[in-house]
């Protein structure tokens, strides 16, 4: 199952409610969702690939990716964070096949090389199939003491590639992240946000740690393939506690003697495309280290600047600019310093308050 329900507010103005970041064809003409599904080609049969995203984007997704049939699309009436996206998918899969092993991926990542990625995921399926009550995630080698990711404290080997996770720490403060980073990747890895587990095991964990969410998700799943789906989904889903799968499942499971939380390192090129600086790393670079994703530009005496446009006929020119982000769309334009890109999320909120939803 590929989760594709994020809002992507830090990638405004290209990412908007009508076309959020995972659906924008802004990486070599493909969207992040298309890239995520392409990575699974040859590993998982197309008919077994599910997408969980906003119901409002069902038509856009199925038009862009016709291989995703209506029975493979799981539409959320509203966003209730990743526990419920994962739980809804797991509950529906469980009703179809209670013995299924489920992989969870996200439409946020660029991962290369694909062949090595598929080999690592295959080894994860094998590990989970051989070890009951095991929740497996993939660990990424930290490149900085980031507070944006969860950290996995590695313990003993569970297989020739996997490790027991002694502790799962979701988004620590800066001091703690620095301590983890200094200890190195033999001790701490970033949590990738991708998982493999038996659907029965993850449903048991949801029931154990968040019984009210579990009860609601089971009711929705029971109605999923019936004429009552829409009514029950819209009645129950918005009432479910909003919480991430990391906080809700992975943290308590790592301290639960009945559950094994495991990790397999994924030492690949991994990029979480969640902000303009990370997007810049997917772009072509000119001789002055400018990242360019625009058809027409003239950058005079300009360095270390990201320039992107959704309009192939729009010309962007600069003179004497350094360390900027310049994003042009038919509706809005963003210009900001690179070191202020995290503030785009705050800007997004203020735009809504001042100019209304049409600009979001």
- What is the mean pLDDT of the segment spanning 14-29? 92
Phi, psi of 240 (to 5 degrees): -70, 140
> Cα(16)–Cα(23) distance, rounded to whole angstroms?
10
Instruction: Say how far apart CA 92 and CA 202 lie, in whole Å.
Output: 12
Tokens of 180: 């983890």
Please state, in angstroms and rounded to a whole number, the distance separating the CA atoms of residues 115 and 229.
38
Which whole number is the average pLDDT over 30-38?
96
Token match 């829409």: residue?
230
pLDDT per residue as tens digits for the range 237-248:
999 999 999 999
pLDDT in tens, 69-110: 999 999 999 999 999 999 999 999 999 999 999 999 999 999
Place of tokens 């659906």: 23
Task: Report pLDDT digits (tens) over 135-185.
Answer: 999 999 999 999 988 899 999 999 888 999 999 888 899 999 999 999 999
- CATH architecture type of domain 2-272: Alpha-Beta Complex (3.90)
Q: Work out the mean pLDDT of the chain and round it to a whole number.
A: 95
Q: Say whether pLDDT at 120 is over 90.
A: yes
Q: At what angle do helices 199-209 and 81-96 cross, to 10 degrees?
A: 130
Domains in the chain: boundaries? 2-272, 276-359
pLDDT in tens, 247-286: 999 999 999 999 999 999 999 999 999 999 999 999 999 9
**Per-residue confidence (pLDDT) for residue 316, from 0 to 100:** 98
**Beta-bridge mates of residue 72:** none
Query: What does the DSSP assignment read for 252-298?
Result: HHHT-TT-EEEEEE--SEEEE--SHHHHHTTSEE-TTS-EEE-SEEE
pTM for this model (two decimals): 0.92
Mean pLDDT within 221-229 = 96
């Amino acid at each position: 199952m590929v989760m594709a329900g994020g809002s992507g507010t830090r990638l405004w103005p290209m990412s908007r409610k009508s076309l959020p970041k995972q659906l924008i064809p802004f990486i070599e003409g493909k969207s992040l969702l298309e890239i995520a599904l392409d990575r699974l080609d040859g590993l998982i049969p197309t008919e077994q690939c599910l997408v969980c995203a906003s119901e409002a984007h069902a038509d856009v997704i199925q038009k862009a990716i016709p291989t995703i049939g209506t029975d493979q699309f799981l539409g959320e009436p509203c966003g209730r964070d990743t526990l419920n996206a994962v739980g809804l998918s797991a509950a529906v899969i469980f009703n179809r096949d209670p013995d299924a092993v489920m992989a969870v991926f996200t439409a946020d990542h660029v991962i290369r090389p694909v062949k090595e990625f598929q080999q690592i995921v295959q080894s994860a399926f094998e590990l989970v199939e051989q070890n009951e009550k095991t929740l497996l995630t993939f660990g990424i080698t930290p490149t900085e003491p980031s507070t944006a990711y969860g950290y996995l404290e590695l313990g003993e080997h569970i297989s020739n590639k996997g490790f027991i996770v002694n502790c799962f720490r979701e988004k620590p403060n800066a001091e703690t992240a620095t301590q983890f980073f200094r200890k190195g990747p033999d001790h701490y890895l970033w949590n990738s946000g991708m998982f493999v587990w038996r659907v029965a095991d993850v449903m048991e964990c949801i029931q154990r740690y968040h019984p009210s969410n579990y009860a609601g998700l089971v009711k929705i799943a029971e109605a999923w393939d019936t004429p009552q789906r829409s009514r029950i989904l819209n009645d129950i889903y918005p009432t479910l506690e909003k919480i991430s799968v990391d906080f809700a499942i992975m943290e308590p499971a790592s301290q639960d003697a009945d559950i094994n939380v495991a990790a397999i390192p994924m030492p690949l090129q991994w990029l979480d495309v969640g902000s303009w600086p990370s997007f810049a790393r997917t772009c072509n670079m000119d001789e002055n280290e400018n990242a360019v994703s625009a058809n027409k530009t003239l950058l005079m005496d300009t360095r270390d600047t990201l320039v992107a446009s959704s309009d192939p006929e729009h010309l962007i020119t600069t003179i004497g600019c350094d360390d900027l982000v310049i994003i042009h769309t038919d509706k809005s334009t963003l210009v900001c310093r690179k070191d202020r890109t995290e503030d785009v999320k705050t800007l997004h909120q203020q735009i809504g308050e001042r100019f209304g939803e049409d600009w979001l």
